[in-house]
Amino acid sequence: MSGAQRKLTRPAIYVISIMCLAAAAFAVMRAATFKPSRIAALPYATPPSSAAYKVGDRLAQPAPVANGPRQIKWDDLYPKNWDPYASIKGMDFSRMSDNDPRAVAALERVREALDKAPVIEALNGVTVRIPGFLIPMDVDKDEVRSFLLVPYFGACIHTPPPPANQIIDVKPDNPVKGARMMDAIWITGKLTTVRSDSPFGSVGYRLVAQRVEPYVIQKPAP
């Protein structure tokens, strides 16, 4: 398993457990300081169509369509040798209490590494197609004018935000009607390495979507 998705070491698991406890407060803090238009109208209720997924599920991908746009995977969005947990390797968290300054500092270093996660500059300006789960941002009645795309079900909502290079800020050419929180979709459009902030986490990419389609194939990836 590669890069950010490799099996976590015990110290990393310890830090992530602290991050999970802090996730709710972290999200509230961001929401209090970030005010996208009409964010109060977000449809937070999980749609019935998401019942097939559980937290952490990823979407399987079929073979790319011939002569179609470049189909990418989420693993393509970060350097293969990138390790956000490098700064805590060798630390013995079993000898620290939860409020130990060293543990708190380690959490801060990991969170900073995730927020400043490196992107793939070679993808800047490339038209791509990728599946993921939708988090509405700018909503007007039943129309979603912008949203975030994340790689697994529950990201930023039921779990702490993933690295910035695993969140895409999507600006569809046309508003998406009837989209709901955590809908599984395909997006197609020009990807750019534009960083931004959101109440759900730091964002490493932006995509102007020419097409937004429901995800209707295969089962979640193992």
Statement: residue 29 has pLDDT above 70 = no
Q: What is the DSSP pairing of strand 168-172 with strand 205-214?
A: parallel
pLDDT in tens, 79-99: 999 999 998 888 888 888 878
In one-letter notation, the amino acid at residue 161 is P
Question: Does residue 40 or residue 107 have the better pLDDT?
Answer: 107
**pLDDT per residue as tens digits for the range 43-54:** 334 444 556 899
pTM of this prediction? 0.77
Are the C-beta atoms of 169 and 155 separated by less than 8 Å? no
- Mean pLDDT, rounded, of the chain: 81
Rounded percentage of the chain residues whose pLDDT exceeds 90 = 59
Tell whether the model's pLDDT for residue 35 goes beyond 80.
no
How crowded is residue 48: how many other Cβ atoms within 10 Å of its Cβ? 8
Closest by Cα among 219, 192, 155 to 4: 155
Domains by residue range for the chain, with CATH: 1-33+83-116 (no CATH), 37-77+119-221 (2.40.50.870)
Residue 95's pLDDT is 87
**Which carries the bigger pLDDT value, residue 40 or residue 12?**
12
Name the residue among 187, 174, 80, 77 with its Cα closest to residue 128.
187
Write the pLDDT tens digit of every residue in 151-172: 999 998 888 899 999 999 999 9
| 125 pLDDT above the threshold of 90 | yes
pLDDT surpassing 90 at residue 123: yes
Overall average pLDDT of the 47-72 stretch: 83
Mean pLDDT of 10-31: 42
